[in-house]
Amino acid sequence: MSADPTESWKLTLPCTRAEAEAIDMGEGLEGFDPSPVIITSEEIEDDPLSWRLDAYFSGKPDATIVAAVRALAPSSAAVKAKAERVPDEDWITLSQAGIEPVHAARFYVHTSANKGDVPPGAHAFHIEASRAFGTGHHQTTTGCLLALDAMKVQGKRFRNILDLGTGTGLLAFAALHLWPRAYATASDIDAAAISITEENAEVNGIPLGAGPGALALAAAPGLEHPLLIGRAPYDLIVANILAGPLIGLAPTIAMALAEGGTLVLAGLLDWQAKSVTQAYRRQGLMPVSANAIGDWPTLTLRKRARYGAARVTRLGPGGANDAPGFGSW
């Protein structure tokens, strides 16, 4: 980046729907600080080959980060494009102007640039687009919001909740809204996501802390953190990440889930659902329900009671437990 971070720059590239979905899942720009804001949009309705990538930079981007952004859209390799300086305006607001609010059951998610009218009876969350995944505008996050709402409608109660791979904190915020007396924990492998979650918590009036009704935060791979291990077992875990990590973490997540506990999984495509489900069946979890938005299913599973030799008998933060073997993400 240039020495003047007040300058705003933009790079626009064509891309495909598949590339846009991979970008929306937060892939490709790990390690850049500051990261550009990436916005993808559909150029021609229902045409999977006609999408667009807009990258907004704070300061003139150098060749390394431009190449990294171009690598997000391999289909544009033959296109000659370069970053251009944009007028001195609020470029974050401009970049978010096309992001429509999301209304998912009782939840309404919006940015500052496009709040719209909050539907009657809906609870609004203000989540800005950022380098962390989970703004509510991807189908996987929306699917999790719908799954959480459905469990509330069914009368489910949870006392100890983990949002694994929290991104922006949105799903943890939603769970706390539904079960305001629960202990809640949110974690992410990316420390930047935890910082973003802290900022979003303040904006949305979510208290941070270790007690009931507050949100505890940890940056960690998988559940490799004393806080995450110490607060296990959880009676609700939400993991909106990717199919590969979900499969690899199956033994760890199952160990951290209380007997009879509920698990919500997302971040996978429809053709990956069978493999993900089988990985958790092997750990003693049974499918309860599934919903899909487009090609992105959300799976809800429940852990069988009294499954496995190394049983976890304590529910909630504090005290010792018998849950060794937490692995890495």
Residue 279's φ and ψ, nearest 5 degrees, are -60, -35
Other C-beta atoms lying within 10 Å of the C-beta of residue 1 = 18
In contact, 114 and 43? CB cutoff 8 Å = no
Write out the two tokens for 305. 């009671």
| CB 217 within 8 Å of CB 187 | yes
The amino acid that residue 14 corresponds to is P
190-201 in b/e form (b: 16+ CB < 10 A) is bebbbebbbebb
Distance of CA 310 to the CA centre of its chain: 30
Q: How many residues does the chain have?
A: 329
141 annotated ligand binder? yes
Strands 215-219 and 183-188: parallel
Nearby residues of 205 by Cβ (< 8 Å), 6 or more positions away: none
Which run of H or of E encompasses 177?
helix 170-178
185 assigned ligand-binding residue: no
In 3D space, the residue among 159, 169, 173 whose CA is nearest the CA of residue 106 turns out to be 173
What is the rounded end-to-end Cα distance, in angstroms, of the chain? 31
Structure tokens of 268?
Answer: 């996978």
Query: For residue 221, which of 210, 232, 229, 213 has the smallest C-alpha distance?
Result: 229
Check: CB of residue 221 under 8 Å from CB of residue 328: yes
**Bond into 207 cis (ω within 30):** no
Does 33 count as an annotated binding residue?
Answer: no
Q: Any binding-site annotation on 240?
A: yes
Q: Which residues are annotated as a binding site for S-adenosyl-L-methionine?
A: 141, 165, 188, 240
Q: Which residues are annotated as a binding site?
A: 141, 165, 188, 240
